[in-house]
């Protein structure tokens, strides 16, 4: 390295500062001195990256500043696989910001390698899962990462991480956000068929579909589009479909509850009484919180 270059440093004191600084120095050294990589450096480098793993989240802003200011320096010339190893250790909610640091990082997040590496690190057994039959595909590595993240964090599944649950969540949310949404009964039937095709019983498929519907409904933004969507689902005609294709009681309850609590002010007088009449035909008695406009 050029000794005249003054590199920004993380805090020099404490376990956090020592770990991050040693990790950075090793990354810079091994990338700028390819002929001076003794065998001892490689395991030590891996250990430094691993030991910094728990602390690097707090240093994400430091990394952003460092890479933005010194993209033409040694760190900016790190091999791509080392940059990926650093990026995937930063909080997921900051990855959008990371992709905006420079064009190189944007291209990394547009590719497949960073997502495959992140999947292998966070869910090692996910790579062993074979493709499944049914109408909902597995998709790209980025799509798979999103699905696994959803399954782990957004859909309650008793501690299990089921990639198919995440893909189904993404599929349903995309369908509900389309300008012309298919009838909810068709969407529900598609989800049931998908889970049954993968070996689940009808009861299990219905339970998983209900959890996914509830998670998607709770994730929708409170805006006019969501109000119109929920009102349409609430007023859709009932089809006498056999179990498990019948619509979930819990899901319908959540739809009406959100309409009468979160979107009460969006109703006109006539609309409110129409939807309330539909609710009374399905639930007896209706909660007192649904009454009054």
Asked whether the beta carbons of 245 and 192 are under 8 A apart, the reply is yes
Residues 6+ apart with CB under 8 A from 139: 147, 167
213 pLDDT band (50/70/90 cuts)? very high
160 pLDDT band (50/70/90 cuts)? confident
Q: What is the pLDDT of residues 37-92, one digit of tens each?
A: 444 444 444 444 444 444 444 445 555 555 554 455 555 677 888 889 988 988 88
Q: What angle do CA 175, 127, 212 make, to 5 degrees?
A: 30
**How far is residue 13's CA from residue 255's CA, in Å, rounded to a whole number?**
53
DSSP string of 218-276, one letter each residue: HHS-SSHHHHHHHHHHHHSPP--PPTTSSPPHHHHHHHHHHHHHTSGGG--HHHHHHHH
Quick one: average pLDDT of 276-288? 92
Q: Which of 204, 189, 174, 201 is nearest to 246 (CA)?
A: 189
pLDDT at 232 over 90: yes
**How far is residue 160's CA from residue 64's CA, in Å, rounded to a whole number?**
34
C-alpha distances in angstroms, 77 versus 2, 10, 27, 33, 64? 14, 20, 10, 12, 15
199 phi-psi bin (left φ>0, alpha ψ -120 to 50, beta other): left
- Give the rounded distance of the alpha carbon of 41 from its chain centre: 36
The CB-side HSE value for 276 (13 A sphere, CA atoms) comes to 19
**pLDDT, position 251:** 95
Q: Which of 92, 10, 106 is nearest to 59 (CA)?
A: 10
**pLDDT, position 4:** 30
Average pLDDT, the chain: 79
């Amino acid at each position: 390295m050029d000794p005249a270059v003054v590199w920004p440093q993380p805090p020099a004191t404490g376990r956090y500062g020592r770990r991050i600084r040693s990790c950075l120095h090793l990354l810079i050294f091994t990338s700028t001195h390819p002929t001076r990589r003794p065998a001892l450096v490689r395991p030590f480098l891996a250990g430094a990256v691993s030991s910094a793993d728990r602390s690097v989240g707090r240093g994400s802003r430091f990394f952003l500043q460092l890479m933005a200011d010194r993209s033409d320096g040694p760190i900016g010339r790190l091999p791509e696989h080392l940059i990926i190893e650093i990026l995937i250790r930063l909080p997921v909610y900051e990855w959008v910001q990371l992709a905006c640091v420079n064009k190189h990082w944007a291209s990394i997040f547009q590719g497949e390698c960073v997502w495959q590496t992140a999947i292998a690190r966070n869910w090692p057994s996910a790579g062993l899962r074979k493709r499944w039959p049914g109408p909902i595909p597995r998709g790209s590595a980025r799509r798979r990462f999103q699905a696994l993240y959803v399954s782990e964090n957004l859909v309650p599944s008793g501690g299990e991480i089921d990639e198919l649950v995440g893909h189904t969540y993404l599929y349903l949310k995309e369908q509900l956000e389309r300008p012309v949404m298919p009838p909810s009964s068709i969407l529900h039937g598609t989800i049931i068929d998908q889970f049954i095709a993968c070996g689940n019983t009808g009861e299990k498929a219905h339970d998983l579909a209900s959890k996914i519907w509830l998670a998607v409904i709770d994730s929708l933004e409170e805006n006019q589009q969501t109000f119109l969507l929920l009102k349409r689902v609430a007023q859709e005609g009932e089809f006498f479909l056999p179990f498990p294709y019948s619509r979930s009681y819990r899901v319908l309850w959540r739809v009406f509850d959100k309409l009468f609590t979160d979107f009460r002010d969006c109703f006109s007088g006539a609309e409110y009484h129409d939807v309330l009449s539909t609710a009374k035909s399905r639930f007896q008695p209706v909660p007192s919180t649904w009454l009054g406009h």
